[in-house]
Amino acid sequence: MRKKVILITGANGEMGRGLIADLYRNGTSSIIAMDLQTLDASISNKVMEPIIGNVLDKSLMEQINGEYEISAIYHLAALLSTRAEFSPQSAHDVNVGGTLNLLTLAVEQGRSQGKAIPFFFPSSIAVYGLPDLETKKTAGAITEAQFCTPETMYGCNKIYAELLGAYFEKNYQRLAAQNLSGFVDFRSIRFPGIISAMTIPTGGTSDFAPEMLHSAAKGENYNCFVRDDTQIPFMTMPDAIDAISHLMRANKENLTQSVYNIRAFAPTATELREKTLSFFPDAIIGTEISEKRQAIVDSWPADCDDSSAKTDWNWNPKHDFEKAFNTYLIPNITAIYNV
């Protein structure tokens, strides 16, 4: 008999660590956690088995398929937006090819279990591409259907992977004699920038917010790489993890879309700096604009409309801007850096 498990890829990433801790806290111990590197000590005791390997390794996928009965897949492995611009081919390979492999694994599992396998895919505000700052200013909070014209490799990868997920769920091999659709239950969230008190992201373009805060807490000088008036939506990591678990538990009948926007607050870089300085008044936070990364952030929306998530699966963030700092970020960050 195959072992019953939940599969998480990208386990060592910021989101993977948070999700594994959350699932474990809620009584799920049968997690197989996949990553390129040995699992971080903070999660290694919370999983049933680590799998050190690459999502592009098809024979590893076959091995996993043979060994486990997978009840849900959380496919988090990805190259983030800044890194993807430096290595577009690798980004495509991992962000698209990896997702294709995991969706194929889900179909195999669904066929052998005779049911649809819940599949979570983290998408991003990077799927949006606002043509210029004037449009960004006037567009306001944008819906899932607006401005889906990404300018980055990462954004292109994410929007295509969203489409792939829907295709695997609804139309997979639609001309085959045997109907192969319906074996994947694809659910996706377009995350805004995420701020964690516990970890700092690597290779993202929304990283100016967590970098600014963590540097201030550590007593290090920081130069923000975007203009003061730059605005995109953000949320805390615990809210992001809660959202995943809410969406994955939602009744399928209530889901009117496969991909949902969510957001919690949308500060400007100035507001982030002022808030950070209110807790760390001695911090030195300057500005050294990276025109190229600025252009990427300028193409992302100032805010997004999360009303469908609110209606369909009761999305509601715990942390607004004030609470994020007062009750989550500052208490945890000061404990971590011992300040």
* Contacts with ligand SER, residue ranges (CB under 6 A): 80-81, 124, 126, 154, 191, 193, 204-206
Judged by beta carbon, residue 8 or residue 240, the one nearer ligand SER is 240
| Residue carrying the six token digits 């959202």 | 243
**Is the Cβ–Cβ distance between 31 and 6 less than 8 Å?**
yes
Judged by beta carbon, residue 46 or residue 83, the one nearer ligand SER is 83
Least Å distance, CB 207 to ligand SER, is 6
Least Å distance, CB 8 to ligand SER, is 18
**Environment class of 226 (CB within 10 Å of its CB; exposed 0-12, middle 13-18, buried 19+):** buried
**H-helix or E-strand spanning residue 259:** strand 259-261
| Residue carrying the six token digits 């006037």 | 138
Least Å distance, CB 297 to ligand SER, is 8
Least Å distance, CB 133 to ligand SER, is 19
Judged by beta carbon, residue 18 or residue 204, the one nearer ligand SER is 204
Judged by beta carbon, residue 80 or residue 161, the one nearer ligand SER is 80
**Is the Cβ–Cβ distance between 108 and 277 less than 8 Å?**
no
Judged by beta carbon, residue 110 or residue 155, the one nearer ligand SER is 155
Judged by beta carbon, residue 73 or residue 80, the one nearer ligand SER is 80
Judged by beta carbon, residue 172 or residue 191, the one nearer ligand SER is 191
CA distance 241 to 15: 7
Which residue number is nearest to ligand SER in terms of Cβ? 204
CA distance 64 to 9: 12
Least Å distance, CB 99 to ligand SER, is 15
Judged by beta carbon, residue 129 or residue 204, the one nearer ligand SER is 204
CA distance 125 to 139: 14
Least Å distance, CB 189 to ligand SER, is 11
* 3-state per-residue secondary structure call for 56-105: CCHHHHHHHHHHEEEEEEEECCCCCHHHHHHCHHHHHHHHHHHHHHHHHH
Least Å distance, CB 81 to ligand SER, is 3
Positive or negative: CA dihedral 272, 262, 94, 147: negative
Strand pairing partners for 187?
120
CA distance 319 to 262: 13
Least Å distance, CB 17 to ligand SER, is 16
CA distance 286 to 283: 10
Q: What is the CA angle 210-213-217, rounded to 5?
A: 135
